Amino acid sequence: MRLGPLPRLGMPDQRVQGESGRERGEDPASFWAKTYDYCQAQVPVREQTKVVGHAVRAMYLLSAMADLAHENNDPTLLATCQRLWNNLITRRMYLTGGIGPSRHNEGFTEDYDLPDETAYAETCATIGLILWNHRMLQFAGESKYADVIERGLYNGFLSGLSLDGARFFYENPLASAGAHHRQSWFECPCCPPNVARVLASLGGYFYSTGPKDVWVHLFAQGKADLKVDGREVVLRQITEYPWEGEVKFEVGVAAPQTFTLHLRVPGWCERWSLHINGTPLTGLAPAANGYLAVEREWRPGDSVEYRMEMPIQPVWAHPAVRYLQGRMALQRGPLVYCLEGVDHGGISLDRIAIDPALVGSNQFTVEHQDRLLGGASLLHGRGCVVDEEGWNSVLYRHNRPSIKPTEITAIPYYAWDNRAPGEMRIWIRSGTP
């Protein structure tokens, strides 16, 4: 089942028709990358098992494959998309929704190669990831695709734009020593207009409709004018999301109308509750696709109150991601958080550690500040840091460094590098340094 129509990226080339670069007689030695993998032409697409090469090219190709899978009702192309999606999401995607770790090919290397400080993670690559997952979401309404869209939108995409809208990141590392900053333009200016395109089309990612269904994929304050079974339905969201997990839906129908409202349960959400016109809805569990299906006759004035609990959550990387072992990240709702040097008094962020047992306890708190970073919720807690005392005249010593407590402030990753220049780090040492 396809939930709704989507804009086309244009007809794909011969790769989708079943040819590889070698079968077309092309010589990879004729261009700088020296490999068919760079442009995903190493084998016919239906035989590919890993997402390789230039990350933006890969996402646009996969978007076209998803379009053709729908257009031609081609289960082989859909199965290929699903297989490559599993490889990308479980082995090759950053926590932020960034993809493509390597500057050399602006793309992929090997499974679990996800360095943080040298991450390339081009803004356009995350945009391509969003475009592809939006297409995959429309086939059967599986929430895992909407989870990727949300992760990318709030983190790896939004970080590409400064809060004043005037400067851009081409690359989005997950750690910085302080020299990485947004620019007003680039010699290769793909990211600025691509960011503008996504922002202008953002409303199209939130909902899908079926013959007797409305699907809510994303959450934000706003109003949607939809058509269900030929009749107009107005759905209004009232919420402070992503700062808070409560969303009120006002359902506008001209006369009683029966349809199913599908509400996504985000992958980060472990507990939720639902009220219809103030009455708790009990006994409802998410379907296998990850959505709550509320079927009823909707009447003028009906409302739905959906509460997703939003604690601070620690995150760990797969043991095969060698750069990140012994480290953890902080996430709240869809937002990945980071530390910035400006909040930590000149302490090197790599020397700070957090006890994961404290995360989610009353020793870590959330504070929303309306005037900071355009309005943002900050995380505050206690950690510890390696003391520099006794290191003035030595490079190595036999006695263990001393540890002292320190206060921690974390901001949403998308908002970093909007204040004083300095360090940034998502992945923090876990336990004690």
- Per-residue tokens: 415: 């908002």
At residue 65, the 3 state secondary structure works out as: helix
Q: How far is CA 278 from the centre of its chain?
A: 32
* CA angle at 224 for the pair 223 and 227, rounded to the nearest 5°: 150
Out of 19, 26, 117, 190, pick the active-site residue.
190
The verdict on whether 191 is a catalytic residue reads no
- If one counts every other C-beta atom within 10 angstroms of the C-beta of residue 273, the result is 14
Q: Which of 39, 81, 106, 305 is catalytic?
A: 106
* CA–CA dist 356, 338 (Å, integer): 15
Which residues fall within 8 angstroms of residue 57, CB to CB, at 6 or more apart?
38, 39, 40, 107
What string of H, E and C letters represents the secondary structure of 346-360? Answer: CCCHHHEEECHHHCC
Phi and psi at 429, nearest 5°, equal -60, 140
Polymer length of the chain? 433
Query: Is it true that the peptide bond before 5 is cis, omega within 30 degrees of 0?
Result: no
- Nearest-angstrom CA–CA distance, 358 and 430: 11
Active site residue 81: no
Closest CA to 159 of 428, 427, 367, 415: 415
**Cα(7)–Cα(237) distance, integer angstroms:** 25
Residue 3: closest CA among 224, 226, 223, 199: 226
Residues ≥6 apart with Cβ < 8 Å to 407: 380, 381, 382, 383
Q: What span, in angstroms and rounded, lies between the C-alpha atoms of 97 and 254? A: 40
Q: What is the dihedral of CA 361, 340, 334, 103, to 10 degrees?
A: -140
- Cα radius of gyration (the chain): 23
Query: Which residues have a Cβ under 8 Å from the Cβ of 288 and sit 6 or more positions away?
Result: none
Looking at residue 158, the DSSP 8-state letter turns out to be G
Q: Across-strand partners of 327?
A: 429
Separation CA 350–CA 21 (nearest Å): 44
Chain position carrying tokens 């349809």: 259
Catalytic residues: 106, 190
